Amino acid sequence: MIRGDRIFGTVMIVIALGYILSAYGIETSFMSDPVGPRVFPYLIALVMIVCSLVMVLRPDPEADWPAAPMLLQLGIAFAVLVAYAYAITPLGFILPTAIASGVLCWQIAGKPLRAAITGAGLGVGLWVLFRLILGLGLRGLPAGWGF
């Protein structure tokens, strides 16, 4: 059963239809040219629908998807990166970086102590590299804690 291409194609068709609907709602102003702000998006959505239909009707052989344990690993990595994006502004660079890189390291190497050391090393090391050597504007610790 070939599913990957069909699922992606169907999702893209739905997105393209939504895109057309959204383009239909774009306001045009009195300055509008012969084409206006809607036509090019319509053309793009049309190409998307045609290509997605080809994917649904003539799918390629199924991709080699990871098994459930690996999917879980990828899900964890995704969640860690999302959490990192939220955490870096309030908590500063060092702590979230140490935790996020520690978790990624643990996912690969599987040894908690090694992961903790790598995480701490990368958190502090990258901060020193980027803040102190390259001079990027990164706050090291949570607001009000110094650095």
Partner 1 sequence: MDILSNLAMGFQIAASPYTLLLAVIGCFVGTIIGALPGLGPSNGVALLIPISFSMGLDAISSLVLLTSVYYGAMYGGRISSILLNIPGDEPAMMTTLDGYPMAKQGRAAEALVVSGVASFVGAFAATIGLMIFAPYLARVAFKFGPAEYFALYMLAFCTLGGIGSSNQAKSALAAAIGLAIAMIGLDKTTGMPRFTFGELHLMDGVDFLVAIVGLFAVAEVFFFIETHGRDSAIGVKLGKIRVPWKMLRQTSGAMMRGTGIGFVSGVLPGAGASLGSFLAYMAEKSLARDKDSFGSGNPKGVAAPEAGNNAAAGGALVPMLTLGVPGSGTTAVLLALLLTLNITPGPLLFTERPEVVWSLIAALLIANIVLLLMNVPMVRIFVHILSVPAWILLPGVTMVAFVGIYSLTGSSFDMLMMVGFGALGYVMRKLSIPTVPAILGILLGNAMEDNLRRAMVLSDGDWAFLFSSPIAVGLWIAAILGFVAPIFLRGLLKKPALPDDDPTTIED
Footprint of partner 1 on this chain (CB under 8 A)?
4-5, 8, 12, 19, 22-23, 26-29, 31-37, 40-41, 44-45, 47-48, 50-52, 54-55, 58, 60, 63-66, 70, 73-74, 77-78, 81-82, 84-86, 88-89, 93, 97, 100-102, 104-105, 107-109, 114-115, 118-119, 122, 126, 130, 134-138
Q: Are 94 and 124 in contact (CB under 8 A)?
A: yes
Which residues are CB-neighbours of 104 under 8 A, at least 6 positions away? 77, 80
**Of 143, 142, 104, the residue nearest 122 (C-alpha):** 104
Q: Considering beta carbons, is residue 108 or 143 the nearer one to partner 1?
A: 108
Helix axes 4-24, 36-57, angle to 10 degrees: 160
Q: Closest separation between CB of residue 116 and partner 1, Å?
A: 12
Task: In angstroms, give the least distance from the CB of 120 to partner 1.
Answer: 11
Return the residue matching tokens 């879980």: 72
Query: In angstroms, what is the minimal distance from the CB of 144 to partner 1?
Result: 18
